[in-house]
Amino acid sequence: MSRKLLTAARWLLGTLAGRLAAAPQPADHARRFAEALFPGSGPDLLVPTWTRVDVGRWFRPARLWVALGGGELVLFAPGPRPFCERLPLESLRGSLYNPVTGELVLRRGHEPAPGKRVPGLRMPPLDGRRLLELIEGAEARRRS
């Protein structure tokens, strides 16, 4: 009896592992969505955030992603009602990363970014610093 149970459990775990490996991962889905936003070369940088937005899912909001490319920063979340917002990099010169809250705050000068419905992008410090450096780099290139 125990040998049959062990065999059945191994078969079930093997089947589930195969299905999970074949299922598209959320990062793959987000990468395809980002490539559709940037036709041709795709985004230069794709970063997941811990911020979640409502996209019409039944149980929970979707993860917000940040993509950089073509001189703009794109906030998006794939779902039944996808969220997508494009912000030009040169307009985000007052952006900052708050290490206390773990949020990247996108600003235009000292004002919140126009049309932005997301108050702050919660993300790990390394990702926040990398995005902030790219935003500041775009501002420096614009000035020179």
Q: What is the pLDDT of residues 83-117, one digit of tens each?
A: 988 888 888 878 888 888 889 988 765 555 555 56
The predicted structure's pLDDT at residue 39: 83
Assigned CATH topology for domain 25-143:
PH-domain like (2.30.29)
**Separation CA 39–CA 53 (nearest Å):** 24
- Count how many residues are written for the chain: 144
**Residue ranges in the chain whose pLDDT is less than 50:** 23-24
The predicted structure's pLDDT at residue 24: 46
Helix (H) or strand (E) holding 7: helix 2-22
The predicted structure's pLDDT at residue 117: 60
The predicted structure's pLDDT at residue 66: 92
Backbone conformation region of residue 40, classed left if phi is above 0, alpha if psi is from -120 to 50, else beta: left
Tracing tokens 């985000």 back to the chain, one arrives at: 92
Contact between residue 45 and residue 134 where contact means Cβ atoms under 8 Å apart: yes
**Separation CA 19–CA 143 (nearest Å):** 52
For strands 103-105 and 96-98, give the pairing: antiparallel
pTM of the model: 0.73
